[in-house]
Chains A and B, each alone.
Chain A
Amino acid sequence: MDTATPTRHTGDAGSPDTIAAYRRQNRRRALLLAVLALGLVAISLHGLTLGAMDIPVSQTILALLAPALPGAWVSPEIQNVVWNIRLPRLITALTAGMGLALGGVILQTLLRNPMASPFTLGLSSGASLGAALVIIFGFSAFGVVGIVANAFLFAIGVSLLILLIGQWKGATPMSLILAGIALMYFFGACTTLVIYFSDAYATREVMFWTVGSLSRANWESATLISLTLLLVLPIFLWRAVDLNRLLLGDDTARSLGLPVERLRILLMLLVSLLVAVVVAFTGGIGFLGLVAPHLARLMIGTDHRFLLPATALMGGLLLVVADLISLHAFAPVVLPVGVVTAFVGSPLFIYLILRHRAGGSA
């Protein structure tokens, strides 16, 4: 942290030191964002080179650029592997990580609850059930759109439930999380029940929703999740100052002119959409939406103008790394990525709970 603030001449209005310190802090944050973005690009490129077929970085870059380059710079096999196998999965991991992390940070701010995330509030599992129902009972006339739409409907339902529980007199941050975990188990049980009564093929299709996996990633998932992010992230960023004001408490935010209830409902709807789209393709990848915001906040502070992009980058980075671990750590065995994120995320969750009990607020 900056220690340059002088303590001597206190009554001296107009000394530029506090402003300079604030500007310095912001420059440092911008720099951290750039570092994070570069790290993400580097890890992603590295990830594209890994797999059954060993492709060097130079060839990978050429393959990525191939559609824009005249002539054949790389072999068609390499281009095929990079463009049709590895890239869609990478982009899906990247954008799904960003989506879950952004959902987490918005929920943590809206509910002023450090333990909140799409996973711990039952939002992911609700969306999973919505998606699974469509697959099993085969309302597949609408294809992917039907799956996403039903996941969205269920996510909205859970969101409204969370808001209602939060409104209830005597609800504490902890009771909200406990209710969320109960919801998670309830929806998990429903999904299991649905699987139990379905045929073998559909079962295989639906199983992955219970742990979360990127095995179904393709260009369709990459495109749809990216488009949703492009829709939602600018709205979040546009509301960054309002989100900062929400951190001061509902009454203070209202006294500053914020329509708190309306903002909360609008943002909950957007989070529901984001989580539903991600879950429809990847299932309930746990803890990512909890971990990424906390890491980003540690790095960059609570100002949402920086925290939102930092959380998105952190979420993308984490899920790309987790996916690489799940693919290559025990190759040829491929783990569902949800297993990897759970191993990292559950200790943090326990830590947050303990800290909450001890300190009242984290």
Chain B
Amino acid sequence: MSPRNGLILEDVSFGYRRATPTLKGACLQVRPGEVVALLGPNGSGKTTLLKCAMGLLKPHSGRITLQGQDLRRMRRWQAAQRLSYVPQATDIVYPMTVFESVLLGLRDSPWYPDQPSLEKVERVLARLELTPLAARPLDELSGGQRQKAAIARALVRDTPYLLLDEPTNHLDMKHKRDTMEILRERARINQQGILVVLHEINIATQLADRIVLLDQGQVVASGAPAEVITPKHLRAVYQVDVGIAYQDGLPFLMGYR
């Protein structure tokens, strides 16, 4: 892989307070067309790492390069041409409609959106099955529907890289599967590189090409799902003993032991 083509985090450290660093030298890379899942217990630094990758937080040390360019040297709009971001649920103070909120994702932020832009929004809404909700204000939607609207806003941007923070959190089984399918499709067909923070290990193993396991701000394991999701790793990171079964070569969590 040429270093020009990737989102690469090298030795990234960050702390909200200097004394207690949240990230301690985390390394990670996402290549085009690849889905990387970021797993780890609560407070392990997953969201912080994602925010650093988006340029929302400035690492105290380490390097983040995006398509061969230093992220720190990029202006905000330049980074935004290459990265899209789906945050965890944010509260809504002044509700706009789903259509309006997805429209705001358009890359060139037109004052008066033209027909092709509107059609692009419509296609993404249709793909996420949000069409019936398009004219509804965001505050009338369920948590899961809002989450999908936020995903739609990121997808409409069509950036080379896509960063998502627990996008399946409020979704039911069907919508979880649908969202996974859409992300896979984006990686395979549009060659987008996708970095996704997840809580559910079974979703990560099905969705991701690679899994990065984070614990106390450090990467403990990284690789194919079957290499990372092992009883040994899970015991070390989550302090639980769980059974693991295999289906089509992918590991799945069974029950606690």
CB closest chain-B residue, reference A303: B100
B129 within 8 A of A: yes
Q: Are A10 and B129 in contact (CB under 8 A)?
A: yes
Kindly list chain A residues whose C-beta atoms are within 8 Å of the C-beta of B123: 13-14
| CB pair A251 B91 closer than 8 Å | no
Task: Please determine whether B83 and A255 come into contact, CB atoms closer than 8 angstroms.
Answer: yes
A-B contacts, 24 listed (Cβ < 8 Å): A5-B132, A10-B132, A15-B126, A15-B131, A17-B131, A18-B99, A18-B122, A18-B125, A19-B115, A21-B134, A22-B103, A22-B134, A109-B94, A244-B100, A248-B90, A251-B90, A252-B85, A252-B90, A255-B56, A255-B85, A258-B76, A258-B77, A302-B95, A361-B92
Question: Which of chain B's residues has its CB closest to A169's CB?
Answer: B16
Interface of chain B residues 113 through 138 with chain A (CB within 8 A): 115, 118-119, 121-123, 125-127, 129, 131-132, 134-135
Of A12, A112, A245, which is within 8 A of B104 by CB? A245
Per-position 1/0 for B237-250, Cβ under 8 A of A: 00000000000000
A25-B135, A109-B94 are known contacts; what are 13 more A-B pairs with Cβ within 8 Å? A14-B122, A17-B131, A18-B121, A238-B111, A245-B109, A249-B87, A251-B51, A252-B85, A252-B153, A254-B55, A257-B79, A258-B76, A303-B100
Q: How far is the CA of A303 from the CA of B100 in the complex (A)?
A: 8
Q: Does B84 belong to the interface (CB within 8 Å)?
A: yes
Q: Check if B189 is an interface residue, CB within 8 A of chain A.
A: no
Question: Judging by beta carbons under 8 Å apart, are A13 and B122 in contact?
Answer: yes
Closest to A305 in B: B111
A109 to B126: give the CA distance in the assembly, Å: 30
Say whether, besides A14-B123, A256-B109, A21 and B104 are in contact (CB < 8 Å). Answer: no
Contact flags (1/0) for B32-68 with A, using CB distance below 8 Å? Answer: 0000000000000000000100111000000000000
CA distance A248 to B91 in the complex (A): 8
Any B CB within 8 A of the CB of A56 = no
CB distance from B118 to the nearest CB of A (A): 5
Complex alpha-carbon distance, A60 and B143, angstroms? 57
**Which residues of chain A are near B92, meaning CB under 8 Å?**
361
B105 at the interface (CB under 8 A from A): yes
* Given known A-B contacts A1-B135, A255-B85, A247 and B129 have beta carbons under 8 A apart: no
For residue B79, which residues in chain A have a CB less than 8 angstroms away from its CB? 257
A241 within 8 A of B: yes
Of the listed residues A25, A114, A244, A248, the one surrounded by the most CB atoms of chain B closer than 10 A to its CB is A248
Query: Given A255-B56, A303-B100, does the pair A19, B118 have CB atoms closer than 8 Å?
Result: yes
User: Contact at B85–A247, with CB atoms within 8 Å?
Assistant: no
Q: Is the interface of A mostly helix, strand, loop or mixed?
A: loop
For chain B, give the interface size range. 35 or more
How distant is B181 from chain A, measured CB to nearest CB, in Å? 13
Known: A254-B76, A257-B80. A248 touches B104 (CB 8 A): yes
Instruction: Among A25, A251, A362, find the residue whose CB has the most chain B CB atoms closer than 10 A.
Output: A251
- Give the distance in Å from the alpha carbon of A5 to the alpha carbon of B76 in the complex: 36
Contact across chains for A242 and B122 when beta carbons are under 8 A apart: no
A6, B104: Cβ atoms closer than 8 Å: no
Partner of A11, one of B76, B115, B122, B126: B126
Other-chain contact of A257, B77, B87, B121, B129 (Cβ < 8 Å): B77
**Across the two chains, which residue of chain A brings its CB closest to B85?**
A255
Bound Cα distance from A76 to B127, whole angstroms:
70
| A113 lies within 8 A of chain B by Cβ | yes
Contact A259 B118 (CB under 8 A): no
Count A-B pairs with CB separation below 8 Å.
133
Residue in chain A with minimal CB distance to B115: A19
Q: Is the CB of A6 within 8 A of B127?
A: no
Complexed CA–CA distance, A255 and B88 (Å): 13
Complex CA gap A302/B91 in Å reads 15
In the assembled complex, B101 has its CB within 8 A of some CB on chain A: yes
| Closest A-B pairs by Cβ, 10 of them | A257-B80, A255-B85, A257-B77, A18-B134, A249-B90, A7-B132, A13-B126, A302-B94, A302-B96, A19-B118
Interface pair A248/B101, CB less than 8 Å apart: yes
CB-based contact A301/B96 at 8 Å: yes
- Chain A residues with Cβ below 8 Å from B85 are 251-252, 255
A331 CB, min distance to chain B CBs, angstroms: 40
**Bound complex: CA of A360 vs CA of B54, how far in Å?**
28
Taken together as a complex, chains A and B put the C-alpha atoms of A147 and B153 apart, in Å, by: 47
**CB-CB nearest in chain B for A13:** B126
Indicate whether B81 reaches chain A with its CB closer than 8 angstroms.
Answer: yes
Cβ B111 vs Cβ A252 within 8 A:
no
Interface presence of B93 (CB below 8 A): yes
Choice from B111, B135, B153 contacting A5 with Cβ under 8 Å = B135
Name the distance in Å between A50's Cβ and chain B's nearest Cβ.
Answer: 37
Instruction: Give every chain A residue within 8 A of B129 (Cβ-Cβ).
Output: 10-11
Q: Give the complex CA separation of A210 and B10 in angstroms.
A: 59
Q: Is the CB of B109 within 8 A of A241?
A: yes
A10 proximity list for chain B (CB < 8 A): 126, 129, 131-132
Nearest residue, chain A, Cβ from B100: A303
Contact of B96 among A6, A21, A112, A303 (CB under 8 A): A303
Chain B min CB distance to A304 (Å)? 10
Known: A22-B118, A255-B56, A302-B96. A361 touches B91 (CB 8 A): yes
* Contact partner, B80, options A18, A251, A255, A302, Cβ 8 Å: A255
**A244 in contact with B104 given A10-B126, A11-B126, A361-B93 (CB within 8 Å):** yes
Asked if B255 CB lies within 8 Å of chain A CBs, one says: no
Interface centre among A2, A112, A238, A305 (most CB of B within 10 A): A112
- The answer for the CA separation of A255 and B135 in the assembled complex, in Å, is 24
Q: Among residues 227 to 278 in chain A, which have CB atoms less than 8 Å away from a CB atom of chain B?
A: 238, 240-242, 244-245, 247-249, 251-252, 254-259
